[in-house]
């Protein structure tokens, strides 16, 4: 009985060894496949913001708003000044105090008005940046699809590290913060599509 078991075990062992050899050969012969190389482009975002017409149209609108607010602020300030002059001309202290109180109330109202208008300007400027970024992102997508770019990166390797005289932040910390905020160390000029992107955005119909 033991002899029979040995006779059966030998062919089974040879069969398993053959399977392992075949599997090992296939695994060794199979080549590792990699994703194809990506086509990468870069953009100087600062230059785009400076030169696109979307920026100019918004700046004109916001400058007009700021000028109108300055005119109204000056008018309110002059009215307060006239009130104070009237207080000086008053014939008795009681009347003078009433006029001064009125001027003080006008000053408080002017301060509150100024805060509200500052929020209005801030909101308009936020909308400006949002609109510009949307135009840049949409046209970058379109340009990448048209020219076959797989990835478009913001080239933040441009420019030197700057220092300010801010006493609350050490110069070392200023430099380290700028270094850590950068994501790109080098990009060839051949990858730059800034000019094409600017032209594409400026050719958009208003």
Q: Does 1 or 148 have the greater pLDDT score?
A: 148
Q: Which two tokens stand for residue 112?
A: 């509150």
How confident is the model at residue 151, as a pLDDT? Answer: 94
Q: How high is the pLDDT of residue 60? A: 86
Of 124, 182, 111, 110, whose CA–CA distance to 153 is shortest? 182
Q: What is the number of structural domains in the chain? A: 1
Q: How confident is the model at residue 59 (pLDDT cuts 50, 70, 90)?
A: confident
pLDDT at 31 over 80: no
Partners of 151 in the β-ladder: 40
The segment with the largest mean pLDDT, out of 60-64, 88-92, 141-145, 158-162, is 141-145
**Domain extent at residue 124:** 2-202
The span from the CA of 84 to the CA of 104, in Å, is: 9
Cα(206)–Cα(191) distance, integer angstroms: 29
């Amino acid at each position: 009985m033991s002899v029979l078991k040995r006779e059966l075990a030998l062919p089974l062992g040879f069969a398993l060894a053959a399977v392992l050899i075949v599997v090992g050969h296939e695994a060794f012969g199979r080549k590792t496949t990699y994703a194809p190389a990506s086509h990468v482009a870069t953009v100087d975002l600062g230059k785009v913001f400076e030169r696109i017409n979307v920026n100019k149209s918004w700046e004109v609108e916001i400058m007009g708003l700021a000028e109108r607010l300055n005119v109204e602020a000056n008018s309110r300030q002059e009215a307060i000044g006239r009130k104070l002059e009237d207080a000086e001309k008053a014939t008795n202290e009681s009347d003078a105090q009433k006029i001064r109180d009125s001027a003080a109330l006008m000053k408080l109202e002017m301060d509150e008005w100024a805060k509200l208008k500052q929020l209005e300007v801030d909101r308009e400027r936020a909308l400006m940046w949002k609109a510009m970024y949307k135009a840049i992102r949409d046209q970058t997508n379109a340009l990448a699809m048209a020219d076959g770019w797989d990835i478009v990166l913001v080239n933040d390797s441009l420019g030197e590290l700057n220092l300010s005289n801010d006493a609350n932040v050490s110069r070392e910390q200023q430099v380290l913060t700028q270094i850590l905020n950068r994501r790109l160390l080098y990009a060839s000029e051949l990858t730059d599509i800034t000019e094409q992107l600017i032209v594409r955005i400026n050719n958009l119909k208003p």
